[in-house]
Amino acid sequence: MKRVVFIVGFCFGMVFCSLGQEIALLKYRGGGDWYANPTSLTNLIKFCNTNLGTNLNPKYATVEVGSPDIFNYPFVHATGHGNVVFSDDEIANLKKYLLSGGFLHIDDNYGLRQFIFPQMKKVFPELEFIELPFSHPIFHQKYNFPNGLPKIHEHDNLPPQAFALIWEGRMVCLFTFECDLGDGWEDFEVHHDSDATRTKALQMGANIIKYVFTE
């Protein structure tokens, strides 16, 4: 049944929300902490259900890169700080998932870029990550971010950037860098970010969710 819901969601945009669609966290190999932000997706789901009128399942799933179960989830989120390794089978499975209508959001929790970019290059050797301009629709969904991604944590004191892989005109992967949205989605007690900072992070996350299911 989930596989049918997956197809309906992509064909009819936000129709998925009325069906209690699940989103998932990506579990990868290599030693990196894919589990780094345990409360972030729960809080993002709650925020979207409250402010976007979605009906996402309150509990997110965990799915491995090479698992056929990944096709049950139209939106998959990945995060972490360390090493990432995809096997040949995982590369093939992830590419098939993304070309079939799936979406991968990778949020750099600091230090992930140097590991994930080479792996995604194996998935799409023909594509390059392109930086999204501030005018891109993903920044102007329910919430308006005229200057692009909000800055949640400093990291290397660089401006936040959003990069995307585009396949035949459709964004299949979003990489958020020097921003740390996932930390901003976490419970207050984890990082003690201000309410304003956490709200901006959740609003941008809601924009991503809405963009994925409506554009």
Please give the full DSSP string across 40-85, using - where no structure is assigned. HHHHHHHHHHHHT-----SS-EEEETT-GGGGG-SEEEEEESS--B
What's the average pLDDT block by block, 10 residues per block, for the chain (215 residues)? 37 46 96 92 97 95 98 96 95 98 94 94 98 98 97 83 98 95 87 88 98 93
Q: What Å distances lie between residue 136 and 10, 24, 147, 160, 169, CA to CA? A: 20, 25, 10, 15, 13
Predicted confidence at residue 19, as pLDDT, reads: 57
In the chain, domain spans: 2-214
Predicted confidence at residue 127, as pLDDT, reads: 98
Domain 2-214: homologous superfamily in CATH: Domain of unknown function DUF4159 (3.40.50.12140)
Q: pTM for the complete prediction?
A: 0.90
Helix 88-99 with 113-123: angle, nearest 10 deg: 70
